[in-house]
Structure 1
Amino acid sequence: MTQSHLRTIEQRLLWLSHWMIHHANHIRPKVDGIKVGGHQASSASMVSMMTALYFSALRPEDRVAVKPHASPIFHAMHYLMGNMPREKMENFRGFGGVQSYPSRTKDVDDVDFSTGSVGLGVAITSFASIIQDYVTAKTWGADVPKGRMIALMGDAELDEGNVYECLQEGWKHDLRNTWWIIDYNRQSLDGVVREGLWERVEKIFDAFGWDVVRVKYGALQRAAFLEPGGETLQQWIDACPNDLYSALTYQGGAVWRERLMEDLGDQGDVSALIDGRDDTELAALMENLGGNCVETMAETFASIDHDRPTCFLAYTIKGWGTPIAGHKDNHGGLMTKAQMGEWQQHMGVPEGQEWEPMATVADPEALTRFLGEVPFFAAGPRRFNDAHLQVPKIGLQSDREISTQMAFGKILDDLAKGSSDIAQRIVTMSPDVTGTTGLGPWVNRRGLFARTEQPDMFKERKIPSTAKWEFSPEGQHVELGIAEMNLFLALGAAGLSHSLFGKRLIPVGTVYDPFVNRGLDALNYACYQDARFMIVGTPSGVTLAPEGGAHQSVGTPLIGMSQDGLAAFEPAFVDELAVIMEWAFDYLQKDGSGDPDERTWLRDETGGSVYLRLTTNPIEQPGTRNDDAFRQGAIDGAYWLRPPGPNCEVILAYQGAVAPDVIRAAGLIGAARRDVGVLAVTSADRLNAGWTAAQRARAHGQRDAISHIERLLAMVSRDAKMITVIDGHPATLAWMGAVVGHETVPLGVEHFGQTGTIGDLYRHFGIDTASIVEKVNGLTFGAKVPVHGPLG
């Protein structure tokens, strides 16, 4: 009975998914005059394995990343289960309708992992499994049931490099409880997959300790192989090229018969096997590959009785069960209206019942009872949460020269000494730059994570070292290889722990700031899922001067400004960093909704992730500052380090490590220019976001909406000139001139640097004290300011 129900569900999902796509492209009124799309063929190839997986194999604690192009099957499944309203389905790929690809944040059904950027949804499942091991190894997470982290992927996704990067990381961390199910339909967008790919796939997975299960033949084929002549038929199938198999599938049973008889001739038994089936039955037999047989897939999943990582190589027909099955153009192709009409008759769906979940079902009551008892769905929605962790007071001040990178390490070290809830839940990670990005003290106190204990051999042999590399299940640092894509995928998985496993983590990752770019796709992917983490890019700018242009970052401040879901900061002083980190640990946990804060017009109540751009350049600190204006300004994005006077002629606005040069320049020009103001910007991102949000609010009738940057600059005459300075791309701050209308000269770094001292490079790029003074002189009339003086 179970197999019968699975076959019924399979056919229902096949129809509903394809009708949804057809409706969006051929029935719903066209607005833009372009194809809506929806990948009918890519959905069809996965319908059997998804039916077997969700309605037979899965448990509530399992998590699945669905192949992006199989999203219509996923949505149809939730519609069948009553978890998706019809109006959402009718508006597929429309505004407010179900998304093109499964989205945790924009779909209403129970999406575990967003997918869409090919390969990333696959790789994140391995990191989610590692994070699950991390959580369950802790006393506070021991009650979490271990589930399987499962990726449904197309064979073309094996072209993505991040898939292989994460395989190596999984091997190093003794990966468990991970399934990857490959839709091996051997067709991609632009062609047919090369012959013999399966052999390479099996060797790669085997090398990294995975079990590989090849699912090539369906139940009909396996039964036929037992008949007289069946062995010969199997040999023909195994030898048939991928493109020929696809072409014959599209042409149908009569052509199958012609080609088989042509190749095999009259061989008695095998001829009788073929002749014993009419054209329809023969086509069904030849298209009954393992991945298109729900019975075979259910049996295969049920046969796995261990927790080793497993790759299922499931052979399928792209477009299986539809009129476009096998055609080389079917990836983005759609059934025509005529084809859909014929297929509707073939599927037995009465006209007017196209959206009816139980149309064509012989016994709706029996199927409804079966659906109500499916284990995976019985537990209801599987989105969890965890208590908000109280953030301890973070205070760090210094009278000596210190870099923000060193200050970051000291803040974490102070937390590591304590027993706060935040300290217990912080998990750090870094792509082979742990010691050089400030995490060393934290790791020495809190240890490295591994599923089994591994002693520090240098310590055991009494060899002096500043690093203590002891691995244990209690450790709180996950050491990663040098691949930045893996870092952001791991941060994304850890940043979803509260939702996936019901246990909140505070993930903190460090990376050389220029190499944020190398993991940018995965960073965007993590933010799109609303994962919560802190990423620290250090050292930044050209301050790692002797390393040259390859290790110097230019455009990362613009990434921080443009990346949705990420609040970017670049503090210059340690007290700013302490205030920001205290705020950030709370911000990472927020999940509220509602109107923006009318003080800044930022949606801080919704929370998000945080990016800190730090530097190794030690600078003199300003001394003790505890006033509320400074603290709030550091969080909101800016404050007046030197308030402008009533007759201000020049504003110097800076972000980050150039603070000393700007401060010296302000002292030099102060004798000749009246009431010079120095604006310390800690977050161009938050200033800009608040400014644009306030403008939108005013456009909607809230005329008194004023952003933080508008409030700060309102006290300065429009006739004043503005010089903006940053060790990064000058566009980061250049927009500030448009807030009130100040004439603005943006200074920054626009080109790759070279080796030298910081002073050399600051002079080369024109962001040193002398250059700032010269720019001011170029803007004003009257007496010139000397470029050297007692503060120069």
Structure 2
Amino acid sequence: MTRSQHQHLKTIEQRLLWLSHWMIHHANHIRPKVDGIKTGGHQASSASMVSIMTALYFSALRPEDRVAVKPHASPIFHAIQYLMGNQSREKMENFRGYGGVQSYPSRTKDIDDVDFSTGSVGLGVGITALASIVQDFVKAKEWGADLRLGRMIALVGDAELDEGNIYETLQEGWKNELRNTWWIIDYNRQSLDGIVREGLFSRIEKIFDAFGWDVVRIKYGALQRAAFEEPGGDKLRDWIDRCPNQEYAALTFMGGAVWRRHLMDDLGDQGDVSSLIERRSDAELAALMENLGGNCVTTMADIFAAIDHDRPTCFLAYTIKGWGTPIAGHKDNHGGLMTTKQFAEWQTHMGIAPGEEWEPLAGVADKAGLRTFLAEVPFFASGPRRHMDSRLAVPGIEVDSTREISTQAAFGKILDDLAKGASTLAERILTTSPDVTGTTSLGPWVNRRKLFARDARADAFIEHRIPSTAKWEFTPRGQHVELGIAEMNLFLLLGAAGLSHSLFGKRLIPIGTVYDPFVCRGLDALNYACYQDARFMIVGTPSGVTLAPEGGAHQSIGTPLIGMSQDGIAAFEPAFADELAVIMEWAFHYMQRDGENDPDERTWLRDETGGSVYLRLSTKPLEQPLKRVDDDYRQGAIDGAYWLRKPGPNCTVVIAYQGAVADEAIAAAGMIGETRRDIGVLAVTSADRLNAGWTAAQRERARGNRNARSHVENLLLPLPGDCALVTVIDGHPATLAWLGAVAGHRTIPHGVEHFGQTGTIADLYRHFRIDRNSIAASVNELTVGKRARLDPLVPLYP
């Protein structure tokens, strides 16, 4: 890189430092306060990253590279986009305000070119490694051979290394021969609450080395390296290496005069080193001591340019938190802000005239030269880097339901049938599971479609002709990515694969399976994937206390509520195989949609926007319905519910069920059918979609459309006012208890609220009162329930 290019990088670095800090200052001190609270914005965390990000974006990156920005450095990222014309002044002025640039980079809420959303620390780091594996998966296929490989890069705060999911990702990367991944660590040695422990990174460095990463330490900037060549420079370098983190930070905050006094006291009158110090003014000495490698843009640019391989690389860039500002080094600067007085003085120091604060090139002497340089930056040369791929045709999906079968087994059969076929959709399916492939019915799919690896690896059991139901053969053509027991990695991989059409221009249909209770173990990463609008199918199976012999540790309770409350995902819990087939065919379309946000007035759901899908399945075989004569159940299964047994005109009770307890609900209806002939049985396949449609219709009515009515309202409003609902689910009863609020019907919810134990299904169903006898008993006690409404002292359940 030429001297002129280095100078342009230094100019850009200073522009980004100013714009990012001005945006934060404006939001906190100039924009009118409405709530009376600090807006925030992490000035110091941004400052420590400015040199790194300048060198990266304006020197090292190419359009095919993808970056997860350290959450607290988002102001620098937005400043970069503003400088390049990809972000508006209006949104910058409204930083952290309604409709303004987001606190942390967001793919879905920011208008600038965000590759990976960040916010929950550690997850943006991990997803880059999983995205690199997805990139290799795509590249290995005939339909992805033209993909240009890029580097998946994470900008990491050193305190983020406390997050355990990072180390889970390191292990997964090693197993999958990770490459083309950079993690650049902002080693400012300060966290929110204090100073990072001395010597920590020497231990972390060993971990990276153990998993096959190159580690590049970037400790000294160009000024320091030049000083070390002067007489006495070796003594100064030795002092820097020995100085504790906390001491270095404190001296930085106090400035050049204190640096001078402290260095002279520590090093004494040693002639050459004393002369080295005395040759510099206080300001020059402070600049020298603060010129760590990560705060030297030319050093960072040269280091990045020197990497000529695809091995995973960790850059340890020493920085000063708050570098270049009056709050540099102070231990409270993580959430701290420059005062109005400090900022005014700093504005003068930065050479920004009043009224020119928002000007992208304010204070730049060679504006024409800088514009020419910016126009030729490779990363931005091809414009926006959001790709798209056409939708894949979805073949018709059916499953034989003439025998007893569980929804989990039906899921495995559907995938096996897809594996046998030659559809484009089947070619683009990527399956994955955290070491439960066989026990979640993915085995037949994997046997036919193989496991993915860049280099083929044979199954020794096959070679030695040892009988086994699993053919564990690895090949570049394979379509199953094997994961270890780490649910966070599962959801990070699904998130990365679910963005493949946007990141790499090649659409994937990611399907992950996991034991349903362990959805909770990866919940942060699931939320993260949904926040990015990644598209995938997650199959939680087996589920509930129906997994009876395995006990409470493997029996899920709250996952149906997770499915209802998680944005970006449509949750289903079908009872029968034909319902599952209908839902999966719909889901493969839904995962590919990216259309208008207009609601469908039939349900008031915004299905054209698309999203991810969660299937909660069971190992419990159920007797299947006869082949359905009418198709009401097909649309109802997608919309969330349908009448398995339509209520009569004098209906006094409806039994509503979801999932594996279908047989208990049906049997209970039969038991009480002699005395209550008009009883209805409501098959709920998705409490999530029913509830979402109901609340959406209420919002529409509040806007003045009095005719808006949701699917669940159309089902329940015709019922007599004195009709009661008895709901039952192998999960938390609140999942269905809200149904009574739709039309004001009295509701008795049955479900599971406490940890289960081992036993038979019948044992646990009786224990939790989700068996047929308990359901029937609730129906028979409805007369007591009526009295209870008049006399609250009468207990419903004696």
Q: TM-score range by the shorter chain?
A: over 0.9
Out of 177, 186, 197, the position equivalent to 2:189 is 186
Residue aligning to 1:334 = 337
* TM-superposition CA deviations, 1:453-512 (whole Å, max 9, x none): 000100000000010000000000001000000000000000000000000000000000
Out of 274, 278, 281, the position equivalent to 1:278 is 281
> What is the number of residues matched between the two proteins?
782
1:428 aligns with 2:431: yes
Residue aligning to 2:794 = none
1:363 shift after superposition: 1.1
1:521 aligns with 2:527: no
Supply the distance in 2 between the matched residues of 1:543 and 1:654 (Cα, whole angstroms). Answer: 15
Structure 1 contact 124–493 (Cα < 8 Å) conserved: yes
1:714 shift after superposition: 1.8
1:123 aligns with 2:126: yes
Supply the distance in 1 between the matched residues of 2:471 and 2:541 (Cα, whole angstroms). Answer: 22
Residue aligning to 2:415 = 412
1:629 shift after superposition: 1.2
* TM-superposition CA deviations, 1:372-423 (whole Å, max 9, x none): 1000000100000101001000011312111000000000000000010110
1:629 aligns with 2:632: yes
Out of 740, 744, 749, the position equivalent to 1:741 is 744
Structure 1 contact 391–582 (Cα < 8 Å) conserved: yes
1:780 shift after superposition: 2.9
1:628 shift after superposition: 2.5
Supply the distance in 2 between the matched residues of 1:83 and 1:429 (Cα, whole angstroms). Answer: 36
* TM-superposition CA deviations, 1:96-118 (whole Å, max 9, x none): 00000000000000000000000
SS in structure 2 of the partner of residue 518 of structure 1: helix
Q: How does 1:229-628 map to 2 (within 5 A)?
A: 229-625=232-628, 627-628=630-631
Residue aligning to 2:663 = 660
SS in structure 1 of the partner of residue 781 of structure 2: helix
One-letter amino acid of the counterpart of residue 161, structure 2? L
1:111 aligns with 2:75: no
Supply the distance in 1 between the matched residues of 2:397 and 2:597 (Cα, whole angstroms). Answer: 28
One-letter amino acid of the counterpart of residue 342, structure 2? Q
SS in structure 1 of the partner of residue 642 of structure 2: strand
1:52 aligns with 2:24: no
One-letter amino acid of the counterpart of residue 516, structure 2? D
Structure 1 contact 101–116 (Cα < 8 Å) conserved: yes
Out of 223, 228, 234, the position equivalent to 2:226 is 223
1:348 shift after superposition: 0.3
Supply the distance in 2 between the matched residues of 1:441 and 1:209 (Cα, whole angstroms). Answer: 33
SS in structure 2 of the partner of residue 261 of structure 1: helix
Out of 7, 20, 25, the position equivalent to 1:22 is 25
* TM-superposition CA deviations, 1:70-120 (whole Å, max 9, x none): 000000001001111100000000000000000000000000000000000
Supply the distance in 2 between the matched residues of 1:577 and 1:124 (Cα, whole angstroms). Answer: 30
* TM-superposition CA deviations, 1:288-311 (whole Å, max 9, x none): 000000000000000100000000
1:95 aligns with 2:98: yes
* TM-superposition CA deviations, 1:436-463 (whole Å, max 9, x none): 0010000000000001000010000000
1:781 shift after superposition: 7.1
Superposition misfits of 4+ residues, deviation over 3 angstroms: none
Supply the distance in 1 between the matched residues of 2:756 and 2:335 (Cα, whole angstroms). Answer: 44
* TM-superposition CA deviations, 1:314-352 (whole Å, max 9, x none): 000000000000000000000000000000000000011
1:626 shift after superposition: 5.2
1:625 shift after superposition: 1.4
Q: What is the TM-score of this pair, normalised by structure 1? A: 0.98
SS in structure 2 of the partner of residue 162 of structure 1: helix
Structure 1 contact 120–162 (Cα < 8 Å) conserved: yes
Supply the distance in 2 between the matched residues of 1:747 and 1:567 (Cα, whole angstroms). Answer: 23
Supply the distance in 2 between the matched residues of 1:403 and 1:83 (Cα, whole angstroms). Answer: 51
SS in structure 2 of the partner of residue 519 of structure 1: helix
Out of 71, 82, 87, the position equivalent to 1:84 is 87
SS in structure 1 of the partner of residue 643 of structure 2: strand
One-letter amino acid of the counterpart of residue 99, structure 2? G
SS in structure 2 of the partner of residue 510 of structure 1: strand
SS in structure 2 of the partner of residue 780 of structure 1: helix
* TM-superposition CA deviations, 1:515-558 (whole Å, max 9, x none): 00000000000000000000000000111100000000000000
Residue aligning to 1:137 = 140
SS in structure 2 of the partner of residue 152 of structure 1: strand
Structure 1 contact 20–92 (Cα < 8 Å) conserved: yes
Supply the distance in 1 between the matched residues of 2:46 and 2:629 (Cα, whole angstroms). Answer: 59
Supply the distance in 2 between the matched residues of 1:780 and 1:383 (Cα, whole angstroms). Answer: 61
Which blocks of at least 5 consecutive residues in structure 2 are unaligned? 786-798
Residue aligning to 1:651 = 654
Q: What is the TM-score of this pair, normalised by structure 2? A: 0.98
One-letter amino acid of the counterpart of residue 753, structure 1? G
1:693 aligns with 2:696: yes
1:65 shift after superposition: 0.1
Supply the distance in 2 between the matched residues of 1:129 and 1:300 (Cα, whole angstroms). Answer: 22
One-letter amino acid of the counterpart of residue 207, structure 2? I
Percent of residue pairs identical: 79
SS in structure 2 of the partner of residue 246 of structure 1: helix
Structure 1 contact 404–574 (Cα < 8 Å) conserved: yes
SS in structure 2 of the partner of residue 554 of structure 1: coil
Residue aligning to 1:790 = none
* TM-superposition CA deviations, 1:551-594 (whole Å, max 9, x none): 00000000000000000000000000000000000000000113
SS in structure 2 of the partner of residue 775 of structure 1: helix
1:174 aligns with 2:177: yes
1:672 shift after superposition: 0.8
Supply the distance in 2 between the matched residues of 1:698 and 1:545 (Cα, whole angstroms). Answer: 44
One-letter amino acid of the counterpart of residue 582, structure 1? E
One-letter amino acid of the counterpart of residue 328, structure 1? K
